Amino acid sequence: MRVSGGVLTLLAAVCILCTTCGCLGASSSPSGGGITPIDLPEPPGACTLTGALAELDLLGAEGGLNITGTSVHQVLGTGMSLDGRATSWALGLADGEEVRWLTFGLTGWKEISLRAPLPAEEVNLTSVLSPEDLLAMQDGVLSPAMEQLGADTVD
């Protein structure tokens, strides 16, 4: 069976027309104004010192930061709320003669370079009151003062 040249030309024209209409046709606009929501995990918020130290223990157990043989000489919390949660924590560690600083925040524990001296006395984290316990004990004093000042953190 022989196909005439006119049929082949017509078939080619139909294919080109279908391809052109499919590629150049206007697509429907998405509902919601063209903005596609991306569900990202919520960044961790403020954390208690107890929670931050638990994260440090877990990191050490997984082979992360090695703080074996170090002693804590300074604990700093910033953005602390009345329930003892801080937006970030810093630990000043003595490792022999070396001074090391660790910070805990949105990205977890990190060792930072900081040329700052440490107090001579070691902080025994198991025998001192945690910030959350200390603030809970002083809630009757701190809450009215913070309300009067319009403050939401006790830095």
- Give the pLDDT confidence score for residue 123 in this predicted structure: 92
Which has the closest alpha carbon to 110: 64, 57, 43?
64
With residue 102 as reference, give the H or E element that holds it.
strand 98-105
Helices (H), 35-153: 49-61, 131-137, 139-149
In tens digits, the chain (155 residues) has pLDDT values of: 565 667 778 777 777 776 776 655 555 665 656 666 666 555 557 899 999 999 999 998 888 888 889 999 999 999 888 888 999 999 999 998 899 999 999 889 999 998 899 999 999 988 877 888 887 888 788 888 888 888 876 66
- Give the pLDDT confidence score for residue 155 in this predicted structure: 60
Q: Where are the domains of the chain?
A: 49-149
DSSP structure class, residue 112:
E
Is-contact 56 109, C-beta < 8 A?
yes
Q: How far is CA 127 from CA 56, 118, 123, in A?
A: 19, 20, 9
- Give the pLDDT confidence score for residue 73 in this predicted structure: 96
- Give the pLDDT confidence score for residue 146 in this predicted structure: 80
CA 85 from centre of chain:
15
Q: How far is CA 66 from CA 41, 62, 92, 120, 125, in A?
A: 28, 10, 14, 22, 18
- Give the pLDDT confidence score for residue 141 in this predicted structure: 82
